Amino acid sequence: MKRAELSSRLQRLIGPFERLTRLGLRPLGRRGFPYLPPPVPNGVIVPEAPDELGAEYDTDWARRPLAREARRLIARGPLRLGTVLATRPTIDGLDRLRDLAALDPAPPLIFAPNHHSHLDTLLMTSVIPRPWRDDLAVAAAADYFFNRRWKATVSALALNAIPIDREVTNRRSSDRFRELVDNGSSLLIYPEGGRSPDGWGQGFKGGAAYLAARTGADVVPVYIDGTGAIFGKGASRLRPGRTRVIFGRPMRPEEGENTRRFSDRIEQAVNRLALEANSDYWTAARTAASGASAHLHGPSASPWRRAWALTEFRSRGVAGRSERGRAWPDLGRRGN
Amino acid sequence: MPRPGFVLDVDRSTPPMLFWHGERFSLERLPADRSRVIYPAEPLPGLADPDAAIRQALLQPLDMEPLPSLLHAGMRLTICFDDASLSLPKMRRPDSRQRIIEAVLDMAAEAGVDDVHIIAALGLHRRMHDYELRHVLGDRIFDAFHPSGALYQHDAEDHANLVVLGETDHGEVLEINRRVAESDLVVYANVNQVAMDGGWKSLVTGVASYRCLSHHHNPESLQNTRSLMDRHHSALHHSIWRMGAVLRDSGPKVFQIESTINNDAFPSPFDFLSKREWEWTGRDRATFLATSKALDRTPRRLARRIFHSIEAPYAMTSVQAGFTETVHERTLEHVHAQHIVPVEGQTDILTMGIPFISPYNPESIMNPVLVMCMGLGYLFNMYRGRPLVREGGVVIMTHPTTKEFHPVHHPSYIDFFDEVLADTTDPAEMSQRWERKYAEDEWYRHLYRTGNAYHGVHPFYAWYWGAHGQQWAGRVIIVGGDPATVRRLGFTPASTMDDAFELASEVVGRSPTITHLHVPSVLVADVH
């Protein structure tokens, strides 16, 4: 009897907690409004809420003084250290930018590298020379980096990323970039539109050329080698190794040159830098001059042949994954 | 708008003047009312886009067809360039030669040229170290051509690879590098820091043999060179131009590219060196004091290392390409626009501070022979018309002048100092008695060909370079120099500038006029 009374009292005490726990554990979908959005009554048209993510995401807050300082701390500190340790970059071609760096103030530039990995952006924000590095905006794919609020916030804060549509650079984006360039910022944009799926380069879209025409800034072709092997598309973990970044000579549209032609020239310039990275300056110049400069895209063949050709192309360069120790020949056991 | 060079008359309000003293500086007060100081012009503005200017020069050359039309598949193209003796101090990367050669290579690649050799035209100078080649040509050219052996340095003692092209009507034999002689086109990339550089001198001395050079690098020519900066009154240049005519008529087609640089020789911590003393700001004065006091307490070896690591922020002021003679005349206009300072009349005493560097000791030691060469050879010759000092006047230099030599770069200088200068300081006598022995010495030849040594005969040439000044001056005094070493050079040592003026009074009287050449920025006095 005494035990039954005790049990009943305990039940009364635990009861409310148990109910709350059950409620908490109940799947969200079964809770209904107000835990979920209200259902729309039939026949009622709800006005569409403005889309604040994707290409429409407003990143102005990320360029306010506080955010700028926070970014500086992040970029100069752990981000750069981690990037340099993971990628051990060799940087070439900086002499091609010295004339512009010597100007006061250094004019804004549009850096247009090839794209193999998310590391490319971290690497570029670490190796772009000082006058441009401190005020660099990164054009990031709106559908990838700005499709969730947390991703958009992190991208904008840490990288000063600006959303851009992969396929077309719309007027709003280009106005935003022009405003940035007018204020002295430089841009980092990947003309390929996305990371390489198989290690070979992709055709350039006209974004960089279009922005150059709209903003009046020179385009610097850049070739990044090795990041794909360290953390390429689809990689599950990072494998530290060596990388190489080659800066090309700044380019601007020629008199009467349209965006497509200028974009082709930028692509050729990056191709030539790729050849330079995997051979030498003179070989690259001759190959590029002979018109056989589609090396960056690889052969038009089946996937395995493309992969095969890529290993051959890579073997000529120095960038890529680090070697796993020297393989000494097996001379057998001592005394045998 | 940069201010032109000018002549300051010293009065009581004039501050003490900056003098170089090797790897150190000193401030010396010059006597009022009879002294003057010649200041160089301020640096002219550089070209806004040097690469575009180079390309334009190659596409619109002077008195020659555009470079692309001279290039074709299957041809032999040789590109020659000035060695590490230019510029002084070495210019900040990218060097003008890198810019020029890259532009030429781009055009050669477009034309399908495969056979390209790049040769450092160093004459009898020392071979450049790999890091110097990298600095001058940039990593891209070095990495593309050096491993395959297509980038190399001229060897004036490789007789199998020298060829005689002809002889002038004065009996001067033109013997040059075989590859250059047998090329379909030779492109020369110049840095014309002073008026002496460039023209036919580039190839006729840069890729020539000792036999060829000895026709004009001799006491007679250099005593009749009035001055090195005025080729129309230089026996040395007359001889070279005669050889140039042989090269033009019997040699390969030459496409000359000459570039000029401004006077901006020192980067920001040392920019007080190029300023006029009364314009030194508080910061300049503090920098001078800190630098000067620190250098006084710094071991000479370390001080030398610091100075030779300086990279000058020179800017390219012009570039022209095409037929050598036409190009060179245009180059001279640009060089003179930067360097010429009109000066009225000569002086009794010429003073000059000798800096840490000369064309023959990049990354090396300014040994006593080079002090003579720099003072009486280069700085004395910084004139057009008449020398700054009257005939029989006194030249006063400031330099520590210690008996110190770089054993790798200057091995024959050591023996020259101990053996030849102990015998004679007269250029003609040493030429007859000693030159051939040094020129044909197998050990020096070996060091020149395989190491980084100047040719065995080079100390003679350095000495001949000052032959005109030596002949002209009644006395040469070195302030602050090691007395025994200075006497070996045939000069008079003095411990202070006042002592030097006292010693000079024996030659030029008690109230001589004094002119101070304010170096390091280059100037050429146009003396009327």
Q: Looking at the structure, tell me whether residues B490 and B418 fall in a common domain.
A: yes
Tokens of B121: 């035209």
CB B361 within 8 A of CB B406: yes
Which residues in chain A touch residue B313, judged by CB atoms under 8 angstroms apart?
A: 102
ipTM over 0.85: no
Which residue segment(s) compose the domain that A163 sits in?
A: 54-321
Residue B142 or residue B519, greater confidence: B142
For B108-133, the pLDDT digits (tens) are 999 999 999 999 999 999 999 999 99
The pLDDT of B351-368, averaged and rounded, is: 96
Q: Which residue from A minimizes the CA distance to B109?
A: A286
Comparing A61-65, B77-81, B151-155, the range with the smallest average pLDDT is A61-65
Cβ proximity of B263 and B275 under 8 Å: no
Closest by Cβ to B50, choosing from A99, A280, A288:
A99
Tell me the residues of chain B between 63 and 102 that have a Cβ less than 8 Å away from chain A: 92-94, 98, 102
Locus of tokens 């002086």: B347
Separation between Cα atoms, residue A113 and residue A138, nearest integer Å:
12
The answer to whether A143 faces chain B, any CB pair under 8 Å, is no
Average pLDDT over residues A119-137: 89
Q: Is A281 on the interface with B (CB under 8 A)?
A: yes
Q: Is B420 on the interface with A (CB under 8 A)?
A: no
Contact state of A290 with B93 under an 8 Å Cβ cutoff: no
Chain A residues 240-279 within an 8 A CB cutoff of chain B = 249, 276
| Residue A92 maps to a domain | yes
Q: How far, CA to CA in Å, does A291 sit from each of A205, A270, A287?
A: 20, 14, 7
Spatial CB neighbours of B52, under 8 Å, sequence gap ≥ 6: none
Does residue A119 belong to any structural domain of this protein?
Answer: yes
For residue A256, the domain's CATH number is 3.40.1130
Instruction: Say if B455 falls within a structural domain.
Output: yes
How far is A286 from chain B, CA to nearest CA, in Å?
4
- Contacts of residue B491, Cβ cutoff 8 Å, sequence gap at least 6: B372, B475, B476, B477, B478, B481
d(CA A202, CA A307): 14
B278, part of any domain: no
How many angstroms separate the CA atoms of B57 and B337, rounded?
Answer: 20
- Mean pLDDT, rounded, for A218-229: 91
The reply to whether residue A289 touches residue B143, judged by beta carbons under 8 angstroms, is no
pLDDT at A159: 86
The CATH number given to whatever domain includes residue B90 is 3.40.50.11440
Segment B467-495 shows an average pLDDT of 97
Distance from CA of B141 to the nearest CA of A (A): 6
A289 touches chain B (CB under 8 A): yes
Q: Look at residue A26 in the predicted model and tell me its pLDDT.
A: 66
**B140 touching chain A per CB within 8 A:** yes
- CATH of residue B33's domain is 3.90.226.30
Q: Which residues of chain B make contact with A249, given a CB cutoff of 8 A?
A: 51
Higher local confidence (pLDDT), B360 or A116: B360
**Contacts of B270-273 spanning 24+ positions with Cβ under 8 A:** B270/B310, B273/B18, B273/B25, B273/B520
Contact B93 A98 (CB under 8 A): yes
Grade residue A139 by pLDDT with cuts at 50, 70 and 90. confident
B106–chain A Cβ distance below 8 A for any pair: yes
User: How far, in Å, CA of B428 to CA of B409, rounded?
Assistant: 25
Residues in a beta bridge with B25: B20
Chains A, B: CB contacts within 8 A come to 48
- Flag if A281 and B140 touch (Cβ within 8 Å): yes
Compare B121 and B270 and report the one with higher pLDDT.
B121
pLDDT at A219 over 60: yes
Average pLDDT (B23-48) is 93
Pairing of strands B6-9, B389-398: unpaired
pLDDT in tens, A15-47: 777 777 776 766 666 666 666 666 676 666 766
Q: Give chain A's domain count.
A: 1
Residue B493 lies in a domain: yes
CA–centroid distance for B180 within its chain: 24
Q: Residue ranges of the alpha helices (H) in B405-454?
A: 411-415, 421-423, 427-433, 435-439, 442-450
**Residue B155, by phi and psi: left (phi above 0), alpha (psi -120 to 50) or beta?**
beta
> Is the same domain home to B388 and B503?
yes
> pLDDT tens for residues B414-453?
999 999 999 999 999 999 999 999 999 999 999 999 999 9
Q: How far is CA B348 from the centre of its chain?
A: 26
**What distance in Å separates the CA atoms of residue B93 and residue A239, rounded to the nearest whole number?**
35
Q: Which residue of B has its CA nearest to A287?
A: B109
Q: Which residue of A has its CA nearest to B96?
A: A95
> What pLDDT does B178 receive?
97
| Boundary residue ending a domain (B226, B242, B261) | B261
A294 assigned to some structural domain: yes
Cα–Cα nearest to A126, from A245, A273, A231:
A245
Within a domain: residue A18?
no
CA distance A162 to A61: 11
- Searching chain B, which residue's CA lies closest to the CA of residue A96? B94
Q: Are A232 and A80 in contact (CB under 8 A)?
A: no
Residue ending a domain, among B231, B246, B261, is: B261
Stretch B325-350: mean pLDDT: 96
Nearest CA in chain A to B105: A282
- Judge whether A233 is closer than 8 Å to chain B, CB to CB: no
B329 touches A: beta carbon within 8 Å: no
The reply to whether B119 falls in a domain is yes
Using the predicted structure, report yes or no on whether residue A315 has a pLDDT greater than 70: no
Q: What is the pLDDT of residues B1-16, one digit of tens each?
A: 888 998 999 988 889 9
CB neighbourhood size of B172 (10 A)? 20
Q: What is the pLDDT of residue A311?
A: 65
- Given this model, what pLDDT does residue A240 score? 86
Claim to verify: residue B364 and residue B467 sit in the same structural domain = yes
Six-digit token string for B281 = 């700001």
Which segments within B289-379 are labelled E, that is strand? Answer: 316-322, 340-343, 347-355
Chain A residues lying within 8 Å of B105, measured CB to CB:
281-282, 285
Asked whether residue A294 carries a pLDDT value surpassing 60, the answer given is: no
Residue A3 in domain: no
Do B29 and B74 lie in one domain? The reply is no
Q: What is the pLDDT of residue A158?
A: 86
Name all contacts of A60-63 with Cβ < 8 Å and 24+ positions apart.
Answer: A61/A156, A62/A156, A62/A157, A62/A160, A63/A160
- Comparison of pLDDT for A48 and B40, the residue scoring more: B40
Confidence at A336, pLDDT banded by 50, 70, 90: very low
Any CB–CB contact under 8 A between A317 and chain B? no
Distance to chain B for A233, nearest Cα, Å: 31
Q: Of B245, B261, B277, which residue is a domain's last?
A: B261
Task: Indicate if B35 and B67 belong to the same structural domain.
Answer: no
Residue A151, in any domain of the structure: yes
What mean pLDDT comes out for the span B386-407? 96
CA distance A283 to chain B (A): 7
User: Is the Cβ pair B110, A280 closer than 8 Å?
Assistant: no
Cβ distance B50 to A96 less than 8 Å, yes or no, reads: no
Chain B residues close to A93, C-beta within 8 Å: 140
Mean pLDDT of B244-268: 95
What's the confidence (pLDDT) of residue A335? 43
Which run of H or E residues covers position B181? helix B178-181
Percent of chain B clearing pLDDT 90 (strictly above) = 91
Residues B34, B140, single domain; the answer is: no
Residue A217 forms part of a structural domain: yes
Number of domains in chain B: 2
Q: What is the pLDDT of residues A244-276, one digit of tens each?
A: 999 999 999 988 888 889 999 999 999 899 888
- CB contacts of B92 in chain A (<8 Å) are 98
Of the listed ranges A33-47, A277-291, B360-374, B378-392, the least confidently predicted one is A33-47
Q: Specify if A327 maps to a domain.
A: no
Lowest-confidence region among A193-207, B110-124, B237-251: A193-207
What's the pLDDT score for residue A322? 56
Give yes or no: residues B397 and B509 share one domain: yes
Q: Which residue of B has its CA nearest to A282?
A: B144
Q: Please check whether residue A18 touches B, CB under 8 A.
A: no
Domain that holds residue B150: 63-261
Nearest to A285 among B93, B109, B138 (CB): B109
| Chain A residues within an 8 Å CB radius of B72 | none
Dihedral sign for Cα B294, B300, B305, B307, please.
Answer: positive
User: Which is more confidently placed, B201 or A104?
Assistant: B201
d(CA B416, CA B439): 12
The length of chain A is 336
Measured in angstroms, the CA of B449 and the nearest CA of chain A are apart by 27
pLDDT at B244 over 50: yes
Cβ contact, residue pair A281, B105, below 8 Å = yes
Average pLDDT, chain B: 95
Rg (CA), chain A: 27
Q: What is the mean pLDDT of residues B15-26?
A: 92
| Any domain includes B50 | no
The pLDDT tens digits for A85-123 are 888 999 999 999 999 988 888 999 999 999 988 889 989
Amino acid B73: pLDDT:
93
Whether residue B70 is found in the same domain as residue B31:
no
User: Is the Cβ pair B138, A95 closer than 8 Å?
Assistant: yes
The answer on B226 and B139 residing in a single domain is yes
Q: Residues B241, B381: one domain?
A: no
User: Looking at chain B from residue 295 to 314, which residues have their Cβ under 8 Å from any Cβ of chain A?
Assistant: 313
Q: Are residues B103 and B34 in the same domain?
A: no
Query: Which two tokens mark B59?
Result: 């596409």
Q: Does A36 touch chain B (CB under 8 A)?
A: no
Residue B127: inside a domain, yes or no? yes
Q: Same domain, yes or no, for B125 and B35? A: no
For residues B456 and B444, what is the distance between their CA atoms, to the nearest angstrom?
5
